[in-house]
Amino acid sequence: MKRIIILLAVSFFIFTSSSASGKLPHNENMAQIATDATNIMRTKPYLQNPFNEGITVFWLTNVPVHSWVEYGTDPQKLDNRAETWIDGQSVCNNKQHKVRLKNLKPDIKYYYRVCSQEITLYEAYKKEFGPTACSEVYSFSVPGSKTTDFTAIIMNDLHKSKKTVSRLAGLIKNINYDMVIFNGDCIDDPRDETSVIDFLSYMNEQVHAESVPVYYIRGNHEIRNAYSIRLRDLIDYVGGNTTYGAFNWGDSRFVLLDCGEDKPDSTAAYYGLNSFESFRQEQAGFLKKELSGDAFKKASARILIHHIPLYGMPSEEYLPCKEMWHPLLKKAPFNLSINGHTHSFAFHPKGECENNFPVVIGGGPSMETATVMILKKKKNRLTLSVLDSEGKELLKKEL
Ligand SMILES: [Fe+2]
Ligand SMILES: [Fe+2]
């Protein structure tokens, strides 16, 4: 009898404390007390992959919702609506939202906002909804095949340092940039969703990812820790299902590769859970195809980006990517290769260390070593400027 009374008391306490805070778990069989609309959005939207007349909008909510994007060319009249459907079904009752806007006209300013309506009950024959929250209205534009100009910002090896990303973002605040590339080791050793979202949102807000598309390249540190495999839930990788790929920004071609880990797959700390040898081989196949493809050949500028450098590295370093990719790259007509990983800024002119193109390596996470790169193309003129954390120009090159 005493045990029953205790159980009843515990159950009553759990029920009253959770319903008072409005935090009953959402599931298909239990009605949820609606969340305050101001508490629905977890992050601002962030933009990715502005190509093929489309752009991907991503955001997160605190509660399961039904989400959509409203957009148009008039900020007062967001006439178009897009949401994600899979096999005839709306992707909803979830907290991570990825919507692709399609059939956009190039070089035109679009305005958009993201909206999410809470789903408080999702049953087979009954659904209940809570309030709707919408973000502010933001703008973006996508390049077309005739676009010749761009300004890209590249940062690398931030290693979750908010101080560094905020300092570097401060240096570029007066520049009108079109895209941002985070070249690996930024979301260092992703442990769990909370810490990942915290830093990802911070980076995104610093570079205005709600209006400027962002590319996240995987470094060796994004491959470590419990949440590493789930980063792909938050990122729309250029290659779709793969972390490597290529894209056009107008008449310029960007090729992004993923070097994987920086030690052999057999390293004890990987516990047999890595297979980067075959992954690098797979990319050799991709690279071969890419270099002989029309998009690459016709491009007026070609930029190669990957985290671990192939060239200018100490001879004792483990460099399996060089072994596999150098035979393809030794004659490839890239204007520039951009790398990170060493935490030490370096520039290797074409031909200095078997490299068929200039190689620039960005710095590290500390204020003493951090760098930000500004890669600019105006018609046929491609220029690179590298700044240290004080804004001092370490390099200015025409490529
Ligand atoms: Fe690093
Ligand atoms: Fe690294």
- Structurally, the chain folds into a number of domains equal to 2
Higher pLDDT, 128 or 29: 128
- Residue at 394: amino acid letter: L
Q: What is the CATH number of the domain that holds 74?
A: 2.60.40.10
Q: Which residue carries 């909510």 as its tokens?
A: 61
Beta-strand pair 138-140/110-122: antiparallel
Whole-number pLDDT of residue 27: 52
Same domain, 43 and 120: yes
How close is the Cα of 242 to the center of ligand 1, in Å? 21
pLDDT digits (tens, 9 = 90+) for 65-103: 999 999 999 999 999 999 999 999 999 999 999 999 999
Same domain, 95 and 244: no
Same domain, 105 and 184: no
pLDDT digits (tens, 9 = 90+) for 301-341: 999 999 999 999 998 899 999 999 999 999 999 999 999 99
Exposure b/e, 135-165, CB count within 10 A at least 16 = b: beebebbbbbeebbebbbbbbbbbbbbeebb
Structural domain span for residue 352: 150-398
Whole-number pLDDT of residue 10: 43
Whole-number pLDDT of residue 3: 54
How close is the Cα of 342 to the center of ligand 2, in Å? 7
Instruction: State percent of the chain over pLDDT 90.
Output: 89
How close is the Cα of 187 to the center of ligand 1, in Å? 10
How close is the Cα of 351 to the center of ligand 2, in Å? 24
- Residue at 188: amino acid letter: D
- Averaged pLDDT for residues 278-298: 98
Same domain, 338 and 284: yes
How close is the Cα of 291 to the center of ligand 2, in Å? 26
**Cα angle at 295 between 290 and 299, to 5 degrees?**
115
Q: Is the residue at 268 inside a domain?
A: yes
Which contacts of 343-347 are long-range, i.e. CB under 8 A and separated by 24 or more positions?
Answer: 343/157, 343/369, 344/369, 345/369, 345/371, 345/386, 345/388, 345/394, 345/395, 346/312, 347/386, 347/395, 347/397
Q: Is the residue at 10 inside a domain?
A: no
Same domain, 48 and 123: yes
Q: Is the residue at 13 inside a domain?
A: no
Same domain, 181 and 214: yes
Q: Is the residue at 2 inside a domain?
A: no
- Reduced to 3 states (helix: H, G, I; strand: E, B; else coil), residue 142 is coil
Within 10 angstroms of residue 226's Cβ, the number of other Cβ atoms is: 11
- pLDDT band, very low/low/confident/very high, at 30 (cuts 50, 70, 90): low
Q: Are 321 and 334 in contact (CB under 8 A)?
A: no
Among the candidates 140, 175, 209, a domain finishes at: 140
Same domain, 106 and 218: no
- Reduced to 3 states (helix: H, G, I; strand: E, B; else coil), residue 165 is helix
Q: Is the residue at 19 inside a domain?
A: no
How close is the Cα of 364 to the center of ligand 1, in Å? 6
Q: What is the CATH number of the domain that holds 267?
A: 3.60.21.10
Dihedral sign computed on CA atoms, order 29, 31, 37, 38: negative
How close is the Cα of 165 to the center of ligand 1, in Å? 14
Q: What are the distances in angstroms from CA 70 to CA 55, 96, 185, 235, 367?
A: 13, 17, 34, 21, 40
Same domain, 320 and 172: yes
Same domain, 110 and 160: no
pLDDT digits (tens, 9 = 90+) for 142-200: 999 999 999 999 999 999 999 999 999 999 999 999 999 999 999 999 999 999 999 99
Instruction: Give Cβ neighbours of residue 276 (< 8 Å, ≥ 6 apart).
Output: 260, 261, 265, 320
Residues around ion ligand 1, judged by CB within 5 A, are 157, 185
Whole-number pLDDT of residue 31: 59
Q: Is the residue at 163 inside a domain?
A: yes
How close is the Cα of 59 to the center of ligand 1, in Å? 27
- Averaged pLDDT for residues 42-52: 95
The strand pairing partners of 182, in sequence order, are 155, 216
Ligand with an atom nearest the CA of residue 307: 2
How close is the Cα of 270 to the center of ligand 1, in Å? 18
Among the candidates 113, 140, 167, a domain finishes at: 140
Dihedral sign computed on CA atoms, order 278, 282, 285, 287: negative
Q: Which residue carries 């100009």 as its tokens?
A: 149
Ligand with an atom nearest the CA of residue 220: 2
Whole-number pLDDT of residue 26: 54
Whole-number pLDDT of residue 14: 39
Q: Mean pLDDT for the chain?
A: 92
Same domain, 136 and 186: no
pLDDT digits (tens, 9 = 90+) for 330-387: 999 999 999 999 999 999 999 999 999 999 999 999 999 999 999 999 999 999 999 9
Output the pTM of the full model. Answer: 0.90
Q: Is the pLDDT of residue 8 over 80?
A: no
Q: Is the residue at 266 inside a domain?
A: yes
How close is the Cα of 206 to the center of ligand 1, in Å? 20
Beta-strand pair 150-155/80-82: unpaired
Instruction: State percent of the chain over pLDDT 70.
Output: 92
